[in-house]
């Protein structure tokens, strides 16, 4: 990897607080493009628009998903903007490149009844394993935290008994997230059970926080006991469930954006899939001429009609 790519990756960490996984993914993307540019006789830092176009075309013909291609293009755009800002290049060759068209994927989420079943299942496990599972599920579902945010919470996050959690999210951005009484009590019970650790969710070695893999192993038996397909239960599905249930019950997008820690409200808008059902219920409940029997026969509103 050349020195300009190394400088770009260092900037991501120093200025944007990029996580190690993000840095690693960007390094891999840049290395893949560098191999393509070199094969065409060009250095990556001086790559032409034609080389970039042939690279993106190759991703498509190579069978990569549109989402992966979009991520690689995003990496290249940020790289060349960095080069332009640092006066290493006089132009940004990615400006005229079109982004791959992404399919609109609806977030996968659980029903309220399924979340209740998971919590009941977690509570049925004896000892500290049950306390840990209940605390993890309560906190994820009540706050909508990313699993990385949850696992990086220090033990001291709850010592004050405050109703708000200070969370450091993507890019080092901090936000305050309300924490309900049940989640606070579950976390406090977990802390009382030990062991001593600097982390709210310690790993096998309490000096270190629990890993994502360890968290996945924690959820697996809980889902099985609840009678829910374990493939449908993950920390991100619980985050989606939090957001979908909040929006369906009247939360506005701006508040939800703040709670989830999204930098762009466009990311939060994926949850508007719950709006047609909510609007139909609102008409049934409040319109003076509404007849529920007739409304039940009506086709559901399409998302475009809710704008």
- Give the active site residue among 146, 184, 240, 245: 146
Q: What value does the mean pLDDT of the chain take?
A: 86
Q: What pLDDT, on a 0 to 100 scale, did the predictor assign at position 287?
A: 61
Compute CA distances 167 → 132, 145, 164, 175, 179, whole Å. 20, 9, 9, 5, 11
pLDDT band per the 50, 70, 90 thresholds, residue 301: very low
Q: Is 262 a catalytic residue?
A: yes
Q: Is 146 a catalytic residue?
A: yes
Classified by CATH at the fold level, domain 3-85 comes out as: DNA polymerase; domain 1 (1.10.150)
* CATH number given to 112-260: 1.10.443.10
Q: Is the pLDDT of residue 305 over 70?
A: no
Q: Is 239 a catalytic residue?
A: yes
Report pLDDT digits (tens) over 210-233: 999 999 999 999 999 999 999 999
Q: What pLDDT, on a 0 to 100 scale, did the predictor assign at position 269?
A: 83
- Give the active site residue among 77, 81, 170, 175: 170
Best CA proximity match to 278, nearest among 305, 258, 257: 305
Report pLDDT digits (tens) over 117-151: 999 999 999 999 999 999 999 999 999 999 999 99
Q: What pLDDT, on a 0 to 100 scale, did the predictor assign at position 62?
A: 87
- pTM to 2 decimal places: 0.64
- Give the active site residue among 208, 232, 236, 249: 236
Q: What pLDDT, on a 0 to 100 scale, did the predictor assign at position 54?
A: 95
Contact 136, 241 (CB under 8 A): no
Q: What pLDDT, on a 0 to 100 scale, did the predictor assign at position 284?
A: 63
Stretch 47-70: mean pLDDT: 90
Q: Is 232 a catalytic residue?
A: no
Report pLDDT digits (tens) over 193-205: 988 999 999 999 9
Q: What does the domain layout of the chain look like in residue ranges?
A: 3-85, 112-260, 272-306
Best CA proximity match to 221, nearest among 157, 138, 153, 137: 137
- Give the active site residue among 36, 184, 239, 240: 239
In the block, which residue shows the tokens 């924490």?
179
């Amino acid at each position: 990897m050349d020195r300009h790519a190394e400088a770009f990756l260092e900037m991501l960490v120093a200025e944007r607080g990029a996580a190690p996984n993000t840095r690693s993914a960007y390094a891999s993307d840049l290395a893949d493009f560098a191999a393509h540019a070199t094969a065409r006789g060009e250095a990556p830092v001086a790559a032409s628009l034609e080389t970039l176009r042939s690279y993106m075309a190759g991703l498509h013909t190579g069978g990569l998903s549109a989402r992966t291609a979009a991520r690689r293009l995003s990496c290249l755009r940020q790289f060349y903007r960095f080069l332009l800002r640092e006066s290493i290049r006089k132009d940004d060759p990615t400006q005229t490149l079109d982004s791959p068209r992404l399919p609109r994927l609806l977030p996968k989420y659980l029903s309220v009844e399924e979340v209740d079943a998971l919590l009941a299942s977690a509570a049925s496990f004896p000892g500290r394993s049950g306390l840990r599972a209940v605390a993890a599920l309560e906190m994820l579902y009540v706050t909508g935290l990313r699993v990385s945010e949850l696992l990086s919470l220090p033990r001291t996050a709850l010592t004050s008994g405050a109703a708000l959690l200070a969370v450091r999210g993507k890019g080092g951005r901090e936000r305050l997230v309300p924490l309900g009484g049940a989640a606070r009590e579950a976390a406090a019970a977990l802390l009382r059970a030990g062991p001593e650790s600097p982390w709210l969710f310690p790993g096998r070695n309490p000096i270190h926080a629990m890993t994502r893999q360890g968290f996945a192993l924690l959820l697996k038996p809980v889902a099985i006991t609840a009678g829910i397909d374990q493939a449908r239960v993950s920390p991100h599905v619980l985050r989606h469930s939090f957001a979908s249930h909040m929006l369906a019950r009247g939360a506005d997008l701006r508040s939800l954006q703040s709670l989830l820690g999204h930098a762009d409200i466009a990311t939060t808008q994926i949850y508007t899939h719950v709006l047609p059902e909510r609007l139909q219920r609102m008409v049934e409940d409040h319109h003076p001429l509404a007849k529920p029997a007739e409304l039940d026969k009506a086709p559901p509103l399409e998302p475009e009609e809710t704008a």
